[in-house]
A and B are shown apart, each in its own frame.
Chain A
Amino acid sequence: MAQMTMIQAITDALRCELRDDENVLVFGEDVGVNGGVFRATEGLQKEFGVDRVFDTPLAESGIGGLAVGLSLTGYRSVPEIQFFGFVYEVMDSISGQLARYRYRTGNTFNMPVTIRSPFGGGVHTPEMHSDSLEGLMAQQPGLKVVIPSTPYDAKGLLISSIRDNDPVIFLEHLKLYRSVKEEVPEESYTVPLGKADVKREGKDLSIFAYGLMVHESLKAAAELEKEGYSVEVVDLRTVQPLDIETIIASVEKTNRAIVVQEAQKQAGIAANVVAEITERAILSLEAPVLRVAAPDTIYPFPQAENIWLPNYKDILETAKKVLTF
């Protein structure tokens, strides 16, 4: 075991997979000798060579096409999109192509591709760096969408994603890269895709969250405990497909729930969680399932992030509405 930040855990997962599977390739803009703009691929090119870890021209669509083509010749690609706001350039390669190959070829070709990309607010990035666009990806049949919130989960989920034989979108929150440290095993291990994790047990209210909002939810849960409420915090970890079993079991226990996301209310995946709960556990509910989400505007100018991004205070407020409904 070693103390690792999330970014170190990610690098470690990439190192494990590059070492264990010679078909794994890591590529993108500045991921080679530079080690990535956030040092996620630091040292990998030196260790595994320029044939395994390499830079590309600056063109996201081309990077997506490269991943498709390399899969057809038997490689397992782990391309990087420098910031997920740039996904619009590569929407066809991801949603129009990668996601559809197994289906369109009647299960004769498949795309074992993991697209890594950072996103998320709170660090005053320029335009189109921090937008939460996981909702777009979650709507595309053929993809899986993974968003870790801790170093331990990040390593295990990334290894699972790379080993998955279908395309996975692996989104890394910028604010979580270095803000949390925890014990992470040095050897290879996996955390299953499509499985949520109860980060804190409780019996009065379930909070479903992912990404940075998991930590804000834990903070809110600690505050609520002081007021006598026992709050369960469930980290979804995979936002598509959802872990229905864990979600419903939690709601059936607590009878009250809120869903917390950083994305705008009309975006993200919170509406989907609410709909699933409504369809499957409405008779367990003592109150409506409310959402904590950002306003339905374009992502804020950097100086307005602190008044715009949802935080633990918003979660507290919404939680109390549900607890006292």
Chain B
Amino acid sequence: MGEKNSKQFDPAATLETIENQFEMFQILNEEGKIVNEAAVPNLSDEELVELMSRMVYTRILDQRSISLNRQGRLGFYAPTAGQEASQLASHYALEKNDWILPGYRDVPQIVYHGLPLWKAFLFSRGHFVGNQIPEGVNVLPPQIIIGAQYVQAAGVALGIKKRGTADVAVTYTGDGGSSQGDFYEGINFAGAFKAPAIFIVQNNQFAISTPREVQTAAKTIAQKGIAAGIPSVLVDGMDPLAVYVATKDARDRAVRGEGPSLIETMCYRYGPHTMSGDDPTRYRTSDNDSEWAAKDPIVRFRIYLEGKGLWNEEKETEVIERAKEEIKEAIKKADEAPKQKVTDLISNMYEEKPYNLQEQYEVFKAKESK
């Protein structure tokens, strides 16, 4: 290409211009200092303490869940430690009637939205009662098919828009999930329908063993919002204040009828991908871990709140003790759930049983009554 033409047509420069739009949004740095005064959210002291309590509680929930899994008292479990800001500060920006379409790692959000903890444990064990969401709690069970929650979120958001209520649909996936077709279709549908959806990508650097760089040549995942023509932002996912502000801002725009947003939260999972045999030492170095340990969302938020005189060791111990107690109670309640029967599973298939299930129901009912 001649010199004259390259000045008129320079796709490399276009790409660079786009990538430069996505600087990381941060409010609270690793030392717990405010670095973006103008962006500090208008949260009361009580609200700040509540957010910190939820993050500490969830860290304990993670530790206990790993331990209960190792004892065989829980089943499928995807660790959450490191993602407390990304998960709980985004959830904290939501309202009661908003819908949450979680991925398999997003159990904390649906628990804080109203799913009883003992049911979350039954989900882990594999019991249908765990997925019987209480009436009025607008969440779905954790989605196992990566990306499916995205297209469904577009549908929920369109439904909300048609009903004319001031709610939003919020969904989560990981960095690997952004490579799925349903990821793109979901954000594109919501964009085309100008539907009130918030799409959150928790970029925890690894999809099982595959690093983020192997997923895409795109410098950020946030910039994928451009393909759908929707606003998007890259956020420090270890910073609770930044995650809260980004989600709140997206929610405000959504309920004003301005359509969906994409939020990439840059974070890290300290634990393995799941407790089903993944060994992160095969693909992560201790340098990775210590680099991100220094960014711990709980550590920086603790420093920030202690500086404001809102937090101390006593308060933290109180939350930890409460968490342990409630977890113990919840596991006990999960233990008490009646064992599943094939007739239960048959009855949950259709409103009215077709002939084949009616026949099979009778067969299993007879077996179960023996």
- A residues neighboring B (CB under 8 Å): 51, 56-57, 59, 61-62, 64-75, 92-93, 96-97, 102-110, 141-142, 144, 164-166, 194, 240-245
Contacts and interface: CB of A to CB of B under 8 A. Distances in A.
A194 B154 contact: no
A170 B350 CA distance: 17
B309 interface: no
Interface string B307-350: 00000000000000000000000000000000000000101111
Interface in B129-157: 129, 131-133, 135, 140-141, 145, 148, 150-157
A232 B58 CA distance: 67
Interface residues of B, number: 41
B263 interface: no
Nearest to B101: A69
B123 to A, nearest CB: 10
A240 B350 CA distance: 13
B185 A61 contact: yes
Contacts of A105: 131-133, 140-141
5 contacts: A59-B189, A70-B159, A75-B159, A102-B349, A108-B133
Given A65-B150, A166-B351, A70 B185 contact: no
Contacts of B265: none
Given A57-B189, A72-B140, A244 B152 contact: no
B128 to A, nearest CB: 4
B151 A64 contact: yes
B181 interface: yes
Contacts of B163: 73-74
B300 to A, nearest CB: 36
Contact of B189 (A65, A92, A110): A65
A57 B355 CA distance: 38
A136 to B, nearest CB: 17
A142 B349 contact: yes
Contact of A106 (B132, B153, B188, B192): B132
A64 B212 CA distance: 28
B72 interface: no
Contact of B155 (A51, A68, A102, A166): A68
Nearest to A144: B354
B133 A109 contact: yes
Contacts of B154: 62, 65-66, 69
Contact of B152 (A56, A65, A75): A65
Nearest to A110: B351
A62 B148 contact: no
Q: Which 3 pairs, one residue from A and one from B, show the smallest C-beta to C-beta distance?
A: A69-B155, A65-B151, A73-B159
Given A93-B148, A108-B133, A142-B350, A72 B355 contact: no
Contacts of A74: 159, 163
Contact of A66 (B141, B158, B181, B351): B158
B204 to A, nearest CB: 24
A78 B132 CA distance: 26
Given A57-B189, A66-B158, A106-B128, 4 more contacts: A70-B159, A92-B148, A102-B351, A164-B351
Given A66-B151, A68-B152, A104-B131, A73 B160 contact: yes
B133 A70 contact: no
Contacts of A142: 349-350
B162 interface: yes
B25 interface: no
Nearest to A69: B155
Contacts of A64: 151
B188 A72 contact: no
A61 B151 contact: yes
B8 interface: no
Contact of B188 (A57, A73, A141, A244): A57
B14 interface: no
A109 B132 CA distance: 9
A67 B128 CA distance: 23
